[in-house]
Structure 1
Amino acid sequence: MAPTPDYVASIGGIQNFTSNLAGIVITTFTGLMLALTKGSFTIPLVVAGGFCFLGAFSYLVIVGKIEPLRIPGAEPLDVAASQGVGGR
């Protein structure tokens, strides 16, 4: 979660960059492991599973409770009313 609305785009860009970088690295790693193990997918799958576990664990332990960003002085937006839903 962004600490302020000013950082939302920067944090989104960093997340997209690291996700794309991971896609490049893991394909290279998988190809290298296939070449070294003569076609076995065991090591790449175990590593990928480990990173999935690490990501889930970090959301549970490190990130903590995720709540909407509170902006000082701003009213909560009633989305249904702003879209004309509910007979208003």
Structure 2
Amino acid sequence: MGHLYQDKKIQNRVKRLQGQINAVDLALNTPDASCIQILQQAAAIKGAVNGLMNELIEAHLRHHVIGEQTAINETELEEFLKLLKRYS
């Protein structure tokens, strides 16, 4: 997936994840950090990773599976992506 270095949306998601992981690391090293707060941060990371996976799958489909084909049914593709996101 060498084409992903150009995708700002994906790069921004990764940077956000890095920030969230750093926040958990900091909280884990803070004696008075709340367990609930750390769990909430971990849940946010889980959601962010799922979002990143969805973006990567869509980028892969568009770049490698569909490619430069001209006859793409965008409606079907969007329905498929919605379904994929719902179950991931």
Q: With structure 1 as the length reference, what TM-score do the two structures score?
A: 0.41
Larger Rg computed on CA atoms: 1
Q: With structure 2 as the length reference, what TM-score do the two structures score?
A: 0.41
Which structure features the higher share of helix residues?
A: 2
